[in-house]
Amino acid sequence: MNQLLHTAALVPGAAGAAVMWASRSRGTAPERISVLVMLGGMIDAMTTRVVAPLCWVALLIAGAMMLAAARRRHPVSGQASGSAPLTVHVATGLIVTAGLILLMPSSDLAAVAGTVVATTTDTPAHAHPGLAPAPLALATALVCGQVLITCVGVRTERAWRDRAHHLLMACSTVAMGLIIVT
């Protein structure tokens, strides 16, 4: 089941990145690079784990901050660069992905934060692992927030490619959330 969810998270994520890159008129260079970094973090966290999850988190959050800075209005022309819904969607996607990478079952930090072991002094071999409520609530909040932002993005975007990008990335986020919950 876990492998199926990993595939269900990676395939729409890759398709969403491809849709964004295929649309030459949409997405600034920072947004396009951010989507690739996000996809790289997902692939690494779910498969090889070459880079520590905390490094991916730092990189993804820095990417979200750079997108916010790039979205600021130009001091001379007064115009903002890129599409506001797309920038917001990508920036929040970076932050949500960072949180979900930390909560991934393969993450060492998730093992510390997400598992509560109840033991008794009489029978230490009778330990019962269970998902702690805080990481479960955090994963649920992150996924629900991203789905809400996706709904707003789908309603405000006119081009089908932009809508497809939003929907594919939301599918990927929901699958990542299900990996954590199950």
Closest CA to 90 of 46, 27, 15: 27
In angstroms, rounded to a whole number, what is the distance separating the alpha carbons of residues 29 and 31?
A: 5
Q: What is the pLDDT of residue 118?
A: 38
**Any long-range contacts for 91-95 (C-beta under 8 Å, 24+ apart)?**
91/34, 91/64, 91/67, 92/64, 92/145, 92/146, 92/149, 93/35, 93/38, 93/146, 93/169, 93/173, 94/34, 94/37, 94/38, 94/60, 94/61, 94/63, 94/64, 94/67, 95/60, 95/61, 95/64
Q: What is the pLDDT of residue 43?
A: 92
In angstroms, rounded to a whole number, what is the distance separating the alpha carbons of residues 169 and 94?
A: 11
Q: What is the pLDDT of residue 122?
A: 44
Q: What is the pLDDT of residue 63?
A: 94
Q: Where are any strands of DSSP class E within the chain? A: 115-118, 128-131
Tens-binned pLDDT, residue by residue, of the chain (182 aa):
778 988 999 999 999 999 988 876 667 888 889 999 999 999 998 888 899 999 999 999 999 999 888 776 655 655 555 567 788 889 999 999 999 998 887 655 544 444 443 333 444 444 434 557 888 888 899 999 999 999 998 898 888 888 898 999 999 999 999 988 87
Number of H helices, E strands in the chain: 7, 2
